Amino acid sequence: MSETIIDIFVACSGACVVAYLACALAAAVASGWVDETVRIRAPLAAVWAYGSDSRRAAEWSVFFDHITPIEGDGLPPDGAIGAERICYRNADERGPHWYETTVAATPLAHRQIHTYDLREFQAPLIAHNTEYEVHQHYTRVDDATTDLRFRSRMQRRPGVRQLVMFPVLKTGFLIVAHETGVQGFIWNLENIAAAVEARHEGRPYVRPNPWVAVLPWEAKPVRWWLANVLAPGLRPSLKPLRRAQRAT
């Protein structure tokens, strides 16, 4: 009996080691970047000004209800290096939210944001042990056209435990949430383009993509992953959800 228990323990330990090594390999090979670009029919200065105003997030984000800059005497202005803000998923500021700091900014060209201290998410193990590097790239195409590029990837938080856990956390994120993040970027950029173009052309803004109350992976992450990733011949996609939203 004891030998059977030992055999089971050894087999389980071996399986865990193999699984961890597989995660480590996947995390090392996969870049993990979410990277999307939109072309906006507006001058570079107009796009930069819009992207530098955190309070405009309520107009374009499909994930955040609003973003609140942390302002006060002696604090950097919104969008400047060192500026901080809080991103709230819901209007009542309960539930998922995180903090962001602008760590680099080149006017009319680039802004880098550090996302950290994620709270009250459906996947707390991932949220509590990871941070994110976010980049906004602004590129002048001509006097009337600008490319806006959003890029983001997961980073581990400092600490030995986070160092050990990171390959598993990154692999889990890539499997469960990466494609949702890609689609979220696309929706957000489409909304920003529509908002900036409307302001620039002096017409009312009609939002293309509404705020999403519950993304599929938030409600049932395992079931969503099984249906969209594991099911034969299917890839993760939110297009049916998008069509349903626009029909309402």
3-state secondary structure of 44: helix
User: Predicted confidence band at 141 (pLDDT cuts at 50, 70, 90)?
Assistant: very high
Say if residue 147's pLDDT is above 80. yes
SS3 content of the chain, % helix, strand, coil (to 5): 45, 25, 30
Residue located via tokens 């042990």: 129
CA distance 124 to 218: 11
Return the DSSP state at 102. Answer: E
E-strand stretches of the chain: 34-40, 66-70, 84-88, 97-106, 110-119, 130-142, 145-156
Say if residue 236's pLDDT is above 50. no
| Structural contact between residues 132 and 155, judged by C-beta atoms closer than 8 angstroms | yes
Mean pLDDT for 121-132 is: 82
| Structural contact between residues 39 and 147, judged by C-beta atoms closer than 8 angstroms | yes
pLDDT digits (tens, 9 = 90+) for 153-206: 999 888 888 888 889 888 888 877 777 788 899 999 999 999 999 999 999 999
pLDDT digits (tens, 9 = 90+) for 62-112: 999 999 999 988 999 999 999 999 999 999 999 999 999 999 999 999 999
User: Predicted confidence band at 235 (pLDDT cuts at 50, 70, 90)?
Assistant: very low
Q: Which helix (H) or strand (E) holds 152?
A: strand 145-156
| Structural contact between residues 211 and 65, judged by C-beta atoms closer than 8 angstroms | yes
pLDDT digits (tens, 9 = 90+) for 18-45: 888 888 887 788 888 999 999 999 999 9
Q: Does domain 31-214 have CATH number 3.40.50.2300?
A: no
Structure tokens at 149: 């590029």
Domain edges within the chain: 31-214
Mean pLDDT for 205-233 is: 69
How many Å separate Cα 114 from the centre of its chain? 12
- What is the per-residue pLDDT for 53? 96
Structure tokens at 133: 């590097």
Return the DSSP state at 230. Answer: I
Find, among 75, 119, 83, the residue nearest to 101 by Cα: 83
CA distance 205 to 88: 23
| Structural contact between residues 245 and 216, judged by C-beta atoms closer than 8 angstroms | no
User: Predicted confidence band at 139 (pLDDT cuts at 50, 70, 90)?
Assistant: very high
- What is the per-residue pLDDT for 123? 72
Say if residue 242's pLDDT is above 50. no
| Structural contact between residues 47 and 148, judged by C-beta atoms closer than 8 angstroms | yes
User: Predicted confidence band at 226 (pLDDT cuts at 50, 70, 90)?
Assistant: low
Residue located via tokens 């590129």: 139
